[in-house]
């Protein structure tokens, strides 16, 4: 993994390489959000990534540009150019990637076998490669090139990690023998070596090295730990942070394993431990550092597949943030709500699942999300079929249509479409058929679009399953109509379909393509041109915004259609949101670019209907802001105006993991469910946000509510016992504590003290006493006739019942008062932005029917249990 260089003043990125060759690009603005995934070509492994961004002129350039003005222009061009991304792996080639097309731009063989690590110098002019044959090879990357220059001194061990010193005069390398060596770049010789502290039976593998400010060296090793050192030192199985301490005493007792005399090293500094953290369950293979205005973070990754972020300045005190094994922004899962199908995407294949059916008598329980109720199932979910297509790379994206009859996927060459045939209620009869020649584009009138690659970053089927929408890597949105061909229909055989590209929306590409911007395209499809975009678009990139979001970092990341498939909305990572009208095949409108104002970009779209409008577009931004756009009025909805994101509850912005997606329940008008990797939040757009003091965490709210009830019961029981003890002499032999059953009997008879109830609930103490039955008859009872006794007794019972009801009402009011004060209920009765963290880690979530929410989880223990070892070392000998 690698962060974009500090010299790049645009949006910060973290590139993460996966074992299958994929490269994930995570944007960083205080929090990490996955923007897109560059697919790894077939058969390509990936072991290392590095960015380069040259901002200084080389000696040759300075001779070429004679005047100061020419040099300033050249430096400005270098600075404004986006950074370059390089990767390497076991195939021995160094590959530079084109960020605009997400395809390899150039490649060069190292002729040294597998490349375990790439590292770029601070001047961003040279790349060093650690190869399998024990050499460090240097490559010149100035002027956009990639050429070999020389080798450094050979070692007999594999060099697995590299980093440069601050002045670019030294290279540090970690190897599989547990040593960190220092090379002189200009002379090419090994200067010194540090040996790891290790047990007698194990050898620590130094998987990664990075250089922090002040010549502080951080390492990641094979025991699942990160360590930080000043200059260089050994590694072991921990995350440790050190600082420098000047001391020359007892130097001969230190680091006896060093290849250089200890006195020559320790006469300058020695190493003092600053912190310790064990972060990973398996080997740590990559570390990267990001400096930003809020501080510094260290990001590590390894064989366990997790990305972990923590503060580098105080590792031992920071709480690591664990990213999910399967980033939810990748859209690993997609759902068909008509036939209860779920499509799961893996690297090389797709799996179609039939979701289990809930029992009919428990359907209403789906409404009780607050209690975390799981519906009773009549049958379990089961895999139906596996699709293993011929691919040129790993699968980039996939989708299943709402009716469950179409499946689309894309690799880095083309989009593939499949039909799902058979009876979906009988899983044994289901089979798959590939559709040929469905993506035929008429002759382009715009030359700049003719030779562009057409693999998809986003695939989407409209709600009526009539259109397949393809968002390509070149920022074009293709709308393919799928119409049943009645003329070719034959009895007993599946229907035939006709496919045509009805519209190509160029709105996302236009700001970056001058030729397209100056073309004759209209806002609607014409008889001779299906390419459309708004000429009078307000979305024009200034020079500054173009620097912050160049085309290479922009991709279409979300598509949504209205429930009747009239409108289609799409967004990209530059903040551009376009709404198309599928009835007229035109660009309806575009939204203002709130990305700059929010310092974030849209990540999820969904249409919903509420009390104010039939067509509302809900938009989630990468900082967890949510706005509602009224499509008919082309303005913010009334709910968003009255409830701006800045007034949202604080918990929504405290989550370390961002909102992944939105889903809606067809039975609840105007209600959104926003979910992330470890939470689900219910948002009602018909209601205001409410009091910010309310407890919105479902678990905490129920916990506080139960504690209040328990405390009240306990207090009233104790108060009643105390009152009884004051009225009668104590008898230690016969004294007995009142239980709850006796307490409620006394309450019904009016024998509990209203004074204690009033004290606890803060209500007036004027509760009238209830007549109590006495053992001794009164004088009037003895004298009066039988009828008067009966009337008096009936009146007494009636008064007692009335007083009991009054007491119970006062207790209930007091209980509600306590609930209101504690924040477990609201005065209006509304409880907006209620959320639960009961489900995690979540891979996907969607409603597949009224009041039926499907949440797919992937427990960490299941993933860790199938992980392979990082490195298999052959062992020889009788004892092995």
Instruction: Quick: pLDDT tens for 806-817.
Output: 767 777 777 777
Residue 50 reports pLDDT greater than 50? yes
DSSP code at position 134? S
Return the pLDDT at 430.
92
Strands 679-684 and 834-836, how do they pair? Answer: antiparallel
Residue 377 reports pLDDT greater than 90? no
How many Cβ atoms sit within 10 Å of the Cβ of residue 432? Answer: 17
Q: What share of the chain is helix, strand, coil (3-state, %, to 5)?
A: 20, 35, 45
Residue range 275-318, pLDDT digits in tens: 667 778 877 777 787 877 777 888 888 888 888 888 766 667 77
Mean per-residue pLDDT, 82-105: 92
When the pLDDT of each residue in the chain is averaged and rounded to a whole number, the result is 79
Residue range 567-586, pLDDT digits in tens: 999 999 999 999 999 999 99
In this structure, are residues 109 and 93 in contact, taking their beta carbons and an 8 Å threshold? yes
Phi, psi of 849 (to 5 degrees): 170, 170
Residue range 219-270, pLDDT digits in tens: 767 665 656 554 333 333 334 444 544 444 443 333 333 334 333 333 344 4
Tokens 């199985």 map to which residue?
237
Kindly provide the b/e burial profile for residues 532-560, where b requires at least 16 CB atoms within 10 angstroms of the residue's own CB. Answer: bbbeebebebeeebbbbbbbbbbbbbbbb
| Both structure tokens of 69 | 């003005």
Judged by DSSP in three states, 753 sits in coil
Residue range 399-408, pLDDT digits in tens: 999 999 999 9
Q: In 3D, which of 401, 290, 295 has the Cα closest to residue 342?
A: 401
What Cα–Cα distance (Å) separates residue 612 from each residue in 118, 576, 620?
A: 56, 25, 20
Mean per-residue pLDDT, 376-390: 87
How many Cβ atoms sit within 10 Å of the Cβ of residue 446? Answer: 17
Residue 355 reports pLDDT greater than 70? yes
Full set of structural domains in the chain with CATH: 156-325 (2.130.10.10), 713-775+788-822 (no CATH)
Give the integer Cα–Cα distance in Å for 651 and 781: 67
Instruction: Tell me what percent of the residues of the chain surpass a pLDDT of 70.
Output: 76
| Both structure tokens of 195 | 């040996």
Give the integer Cα–Cα distance in Å for 879 and 348: 41
* Range of weakest confidence among 262-276, 598-612, 762-776: 762-776
In this structure, are residues 661 and 675 in contact, taking their beta carbons and an 8 Å threshold? yes
């Amino acid at each position: 993994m690698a962060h974009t260089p500090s010299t790049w003043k645009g949006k910060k990125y973290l590139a993460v390489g996966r074992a299958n060759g994929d490269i994930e690009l995570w944007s960083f603005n205080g929090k990490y959000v996955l923007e897109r995934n560059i697919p790894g070509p077939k058969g390509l492994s990936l072991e290392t990534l590095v960015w380069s961004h040259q901002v200084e002129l080389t000696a040759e350039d300075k001779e070429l540009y004679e005047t100061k003005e020419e040099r300033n222009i050249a430096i400005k061009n270098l600075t404004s150019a986006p950074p370059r991304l390089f990767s390497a792996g076991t195939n021995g080639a160094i590959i530079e990637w084109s960020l605009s097309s997400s395809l390899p731009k150039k490649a060069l063989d190292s002729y040294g076998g597998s490349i375990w690590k790439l590292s770029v110098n601070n001047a961003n002019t040279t790349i060093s490669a650690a190869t399998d044959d024990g050499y460090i090879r240097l490559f010149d990357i100035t002027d956009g090139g990639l050429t070999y220059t020389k080798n450094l001194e050979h070692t007999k061990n594999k060099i697995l990690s590299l980093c440069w010193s601050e002045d670019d005069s030294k290279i540090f390398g970690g190897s599989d023998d547990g040593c960190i060596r220092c090379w002189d770049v200009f002379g090419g010789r090994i200067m010194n070596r540090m040996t790891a502290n290790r047990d007698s039976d194990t050898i620590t593998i130094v998987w990664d090295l990075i250089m922090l400010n002040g010549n502080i060296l951080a390492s990641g090793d094979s025991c699942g730990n990160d360590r930080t050192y000043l200059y260089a030192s050994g590694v072991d199985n921990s995350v440790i942070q050190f600082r420098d301490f000047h001391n020359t005493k007892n130097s001969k007792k230190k680091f006896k394993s060093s290849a250089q005399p200890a006195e020559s090293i320790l006469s300058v500094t020695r190493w003092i431990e600053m912190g310790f953290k064990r972060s990973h369950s398996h080997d740590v293979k990559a570390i990267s550092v990001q400096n930003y205005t809020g501080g510094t973070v260290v990001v590590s990754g390894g064989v366990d597949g997790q990305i972990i972020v923590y503060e580098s300045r105080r590792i031992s005190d920071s709480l690591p943030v664990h990213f999910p094994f399967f980033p939810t922004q990748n859209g690993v899962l997609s759902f068909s709500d008509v036939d209860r199908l779920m499509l799961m995407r893996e690297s090389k294949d797709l799996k179609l699942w039939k979701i289990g059916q809930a029992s009919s008598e428990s359907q209403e329980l789906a409404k009780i999300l607050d209690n975390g109720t799981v519906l009773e199932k009549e049958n379990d979910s089961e895999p139906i079929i596996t699709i293993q297509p011929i691919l040129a790379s790993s699968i980039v994206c996939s989708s299943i249509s709402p009716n469950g009859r179409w499946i689309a996927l894309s690799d880095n060459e083309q989009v593939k479409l499949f039909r799902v045939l058979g009876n979906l209620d009988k899983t044994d009869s289901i089979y798959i058929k590939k559709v040929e020649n469905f993506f035929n584009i008429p002759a382009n009138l715009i030359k700049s679009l003719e030779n562009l690659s057409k693999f998809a970053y986003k695939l989407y089927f409209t709600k009526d399953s009539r259109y397949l929408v393809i968002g390509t890597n070149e920022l074009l949105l293709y709308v393919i109509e799928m119409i049943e061909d009645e003329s070719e229909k034959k009895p007993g055989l599946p229907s035939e379909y006709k496919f045509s590209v009805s519209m190509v929306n160029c709105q996302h590409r236009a700001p970056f393509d001058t030729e397209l911007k100056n073309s004759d395209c209209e806002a609607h499809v014409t008889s001779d041109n299906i390419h459309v975009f708004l000429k009078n678009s307000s979305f024009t990139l200034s020079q500054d915004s173009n620097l912050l979001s160049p085309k290479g970092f922009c991709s279409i990341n979300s598509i949504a259609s209205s429930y009747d498939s009239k409108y289609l909305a799409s967004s990209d990572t530059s903040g551009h949101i376009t709404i198309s009208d599928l009835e007229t095949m035109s660009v309806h409108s575009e939204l203002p670019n709130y990305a700059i104002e929010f310092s974030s970009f849209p990540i999820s779209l969904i249409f919903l209907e509420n009390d104010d409008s039939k067509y509302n577009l809900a938009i989630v931004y990468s900082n967890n802001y949510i706005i509602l756009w009224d499509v008919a009025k082309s303005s913010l909805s009334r709910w968003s105006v009255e409830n701006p994101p800045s007034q949202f509850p604080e918990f929504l912005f405290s989550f370390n993991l961002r909102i992944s997606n939105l889903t809606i329940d067809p039975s609840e008008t105007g209600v959104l469910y926003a979910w992330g990797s470890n939470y689900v939040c219910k948002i009602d757009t018909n209601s205001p946000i409410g009091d910010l003091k309310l407890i919105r965490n479902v678990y905490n709210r129920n916990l506080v509510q139960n504690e209040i009830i328990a405390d009240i019961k306990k207090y009233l029981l104790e108060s009643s016992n105390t009152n009884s003890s004051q009225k009668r002499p104590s008898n230690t032999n016969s004294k007995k504590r009142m239980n709850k059953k006796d307490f409620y009997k006394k309450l019904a008879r009016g024998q509990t003290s209203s004074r204690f109830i009033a004290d606890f609930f803060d209500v007036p103490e004027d509760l009238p006493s209830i007549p109590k039955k006495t053992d001794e008859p009164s004088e009037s009872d003895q004298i009066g006739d039988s009828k008067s006794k009966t009337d008096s007794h009936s009146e007494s019972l009636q008064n007692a019942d009335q007083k009991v009801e009054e007491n119970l009402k006062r207790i209930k009011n007091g209980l509600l008062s306590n609930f209101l004060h504690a924040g477990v209920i609201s005065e209006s009765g509304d409880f907006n932005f209620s959320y639960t963290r009961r489900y995690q880690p979540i891979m996907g979530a969607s409603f597949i029917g009224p009041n039926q929410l499907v949440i797919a989880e992937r427990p960490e223990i299941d993933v860790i249990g199938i992980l392979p070892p990082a490195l298999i070392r052959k062992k020889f000998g009788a004892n092995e």
